[in-house]
Each structure stands twice: as structure tokens, then as C-alpha cells.
């Protein structure tokens, strides 16, 4: 093989390699376009999920606020009821104490008749 023929083979070889690189570059460009499209779709999904989660968070917090408000109302009613029960028990205790005192002062009729 003479130099010109060798040169022609090398040039053809480089042209073939360049064609392969161009083919790979074209495929990579297609892959990059597809990845960009997937990235855009994922971004859209992320935004939708973020919006939905924000709405759910707001509903949950609103629900907790309503529950806390109901608990506060129940607590105030319970406190009032306990106050009334405590007052009734205190009054009942006083009445029992008065009854015991009256019974202690009561004179047995048989004891009175026995003295006279």
C-alpha cells in the first residue's frame, strides 16, 4: 500500500468515526430532549402535589382548630359541672355533719324515763 492509499484509508476511517460520533450525538440529543420532557412533567407533578398537600395541611389544621375549640367548650362545661358537683358534695357533707350532731344530742326516751 502506498502513502496515498494509506492516507485515503485513514481519512475514510476518520470519516467513519466522525459519522459514528455524529450518530451518537444525535441520539444523545434525542435522549436529552426526552429527559427534558420528563423533567418538565415531573416538575408539573411536583407542583400539583405541593398544591394538594398544602390544601390538605390547611384542612387538617382547620380540623384541629375546630377540635381544639370543641375541647375548650367541653372543658369549660366539665369544669362548671365539677364545680356544681363539688358544691353539692360539700353541702351534703355539711348536712350529714348536722344530722350526726343532732343524733348525738338526741336523748333516748328509755333513758329519760329511766331517770324520772
Domain ranges of the chain: 3-115
DSSP per-residue string spanning the chain: --HHHHHHHHHHHHHHHHHHHHHHHHHHHHHHHHHHHHHHHHHHHHHHHHHHHHHHHHHHHHHHHHHHHHHHHHHHHHHHHHHHHHHHHHHHHHHHHHHHHHHHHPPPHHHHHHH-
The tens digit of pLDDT for each residue in 13-38 reads: 999 999 999 999 999 999 999 999 99
Tens digits of residue pLDDT in 50-108: 999 999 999 999 999 999 999 999 999 999 999 999 999 999 999 999 888 877 777 66
Amino acid at each position: 500500500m502506498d502513502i496515498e492509499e494509506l492516507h485515503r484509508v485513514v481519512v475514510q476511517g476518520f470519516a467513519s468515526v466522525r459519522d459514528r460520533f455524529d450518530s451518537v450525538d444525535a441520539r444523545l440529543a434525542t435522549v436529552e430532549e426526552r429527559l427534558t420532557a420528563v423533567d418538565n412533567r415531573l416538575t408539573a407533578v411536583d407542583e400539583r402535589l405541593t398544591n394538594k398537600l398544602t390544601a390538605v395541611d390547611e384542612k387538617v389544621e382547620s380540623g384541629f382548630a375546630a377540635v381544639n375549640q370543641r375541647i375548650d367548650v367541653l372543658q369549660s362545661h366539665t369544669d362548671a359541672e365539677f364545680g356544681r358537683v363539688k358544691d353539692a358534695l360539700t353541702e351534703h357533707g355539711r348536712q350529714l355533719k348536722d344530722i350526726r350532731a343532732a343524733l348525738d344530742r338526741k336523748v333516748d326516751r328509755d333513758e329519760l324515763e329511766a331517770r324520772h
